[in-house]
Chains A and B, each alone.
Chain A
Amino acid sequence: MCVRLESYESEEHQKMVRSFLDGRFENTAFCLLAPDGETRLSGTGRSPSQGLRQRRGPGRGRGDNGVVEAMEKVAKKFRAKGTKEGAILQDFHSFRQGLNVASGDQRLLIFVVATENDRKTLGTDLRDLMSDKEIIGKFHMDFADEEPDSQWRDAVKGERGNTGIFVIRANAFGQTGSVMEQLPVDATPEELKNALLEANTSFAKTEKRKVYSEHVAAGRRARVHFENGMPYGEDRDGDGVIDHRAGRGGRGAGPEAGERRGPPAGRRGGPPRGNRRPGQPPQRPRIRPGGTE
């Protein structure tokens, strides 16, 4: 099973990243872990090829194949138990982050707003549906929490009532959204499945796939900024202090949290950087989820 944490969401997440990178903090970290969540089954690193190759033995491969082989070899060591339909449901620490991630992945967000008792019930009752082969991997899901999500309505248009299962389409920058479908918390699984599939079909027909370089450029022009839980920037020397390097344009290398800033000097409207030649189509994304369960 796969977990993807937002590196800048909290100090706790950054501590985890540092634990995998020998005390350094960088935007990304990869590792394979045993089901206990503690025993490491691979090396660690900021890229899959650095992190996921096994430390010794066959499977310490060349390039992509070595990583996949290492993952397959690790998976075979464990006999899965429990049913697929009993899988614990996804949740976010906050609606705000869920909306942002849904936007980034270009998926619809299922947002459950209900009493605590109903949330507990739905957390079990919806497992079967969310494991359905027609549903799994197509949506993100979040259960509203009292404290961090009290202002969720401010970011969303089209909601009605105080509770419900909301199917939300995030805007391009994941800071606002609109309700595509809304069902009562006691909707049947069939009703919910039909609504989800219908919304996803509509979404797929009307959502333009993002080209991330263009998205970032548009965000700079619009002075978009997402204030995360931790200051942006990396600590590559592992001294516990975020490095400030002029000209760093990588993910997370933007302004300090809370600071709104436009593009770096000389970047606005300038030619594309990187290895892409003029006229060459955008490259395959360097970090990008896709795949399947």
Chain B
Amino acid sequence: MKAAHVFWISIFSGGLALAQGPRPDDLGASPQPVGEAGVAWYTTWETARAEAERSNRPIFFMAAAATCSGISGVF
């Protein structure tokens, strides 16, 4: 649950910035230590929808760019 809070706090604290579009220089480090559990994301709509139907759980939908100014390795 600690990791969950790290995620949601970090993502929500970026709300205003997201509304305006963050600049690369505004981006710091992830608050999550490497190797610890994060969100178990589904990364295709097909698998996500299948799992939602299977488990009857609502979907948190997020779309974002896995690049920053065309530079990869950022999500």
Contacts and interface: CB of A to CB of B under 8 A. Distances in A.
Interface residues of B, number: 72
Contacts of B64: 4-7, 27-28, 251, 287
A272 B8 CA distance: 26
Interface string A86-105: 11111111000110110111
A241 interface: no
B contact patch SS: mixed
Contacts of B45: 3, 5, 12-13, 16, 37
- Identify the interface centre among A6, A45, A212: most chain B CB within 10 Å of its CB: A212
A contact patch SS: loop
Interface stretch (A110-118, A134-142, A157-165, A181-189): A134-142
A288 B11 contact: yes
Interface string A191-220: 000000000110111011111110111011
A271 B51 CA distance: 46
B53 to A, nearest CB: 6
Contact of A212 (B3, B12, B68): B68
21 contacts: A1-B57, A6-B64, A8-B67, A27-B65, A47-B15, A49-B15, A68-B8, A68-B12, A104-B66, A137-B37, A205-B35, A216-B27, A216-B69, A226-B66, A254-B71, A274-B26, A276-B25, A286-B26, A289-B41, A290-B30, A291-B8
Interface of B: 1, 3-19, 21-45, 47-75
Given A285-B30, A291-B8, 14 more contacts: A3-B62, A29-B63, A35-B57, A37-B52, A47-B14, A64-B15, A79-B56, A100-B72, A138-B35, A211-B27, A213-B26, A225-B71, A290-B39, A292-B1
